[in-house]
Amino acid sequence: MTKRYVVMGVSGCGKSSIGQMLAEKLGLKFFDGDDYHPPENVAKMRSGQPLNDDDRAGWLATLNKLLCDEPSAVLACSSLKPAYRQTLRQGNDAVFIYLKGDIDTIWQRHSQREGHYFNGRGMLESQFSELIEPGADEAVQVCIDQPCEAVVEAILVALRKKAEASG
């Protein structure tokens, strides 16, 4: 049975909060991908500049190594593009969980965050423009327009159904 999960979506969709709650429910370790950004990525985002593919390459390789080294984990990582998800999935059985929401809902949440280096609506818009949503065959999809507890319950139900379907 899979013991590695990547909670994905644009910044502010709830990856860290949902990921921590999911890890607790499953009795797994939680890792926040943001904690693994190199200082130059953090500085770039603090200044309001979005990251590009080159900026993300080393960071994604680091996160892939973490997933491969951990027999069980929940990782919060934006995973905006199929190529990023492929990098993260190399050599492990990670299941992706896509936290789906619209820009207005997520921007409202962003506006309430304090002390996070992700800076400005323009950066959020750039994440939405970079996002290539995963299909149902690539990720469990859960709508975030509900309380965190309900999102986690919806994830758990979807994971059970996925496990039953795969035998």
CATH number at residue 71: 3.40.50.300
- CA pair distance 45, 47, nearest whole angstrom: 5
Provide the pLDDT confidence category of residue 47 given band limits of 50, 70 and 90: confident
Angle 4-33-77 (CA atoms, 0-180°, nearest 5)? 65
- For residue 5, the cross-strand partners are 74, 95
pLDDT of residue 121: 73
User: What is the overall mean pLDDT for the chain?
Assistant: 90
Count helices and strands (H / E) in the chain. Answer: 7, 5
Q: CA angle, 164 as apex, 160 and 166 as ends, to 5°? A: 120
Residue 128 is part of which domain span? 4-165
CA angle 45, 49, 51 (to 5 degrees): 75
Give the percent of the chain with pLDDT over 90: 71
**Tally of domains within the chain:** 1
User: What predicted TM-score, i.e. pTM, was given to this entire model?
Assistant: 0.91
Residue 2 has pLDDT above 90, yes or no: no
**Of 6 and 113, more confident:** 6
Top pLDDT among 107 and 117 is at 107
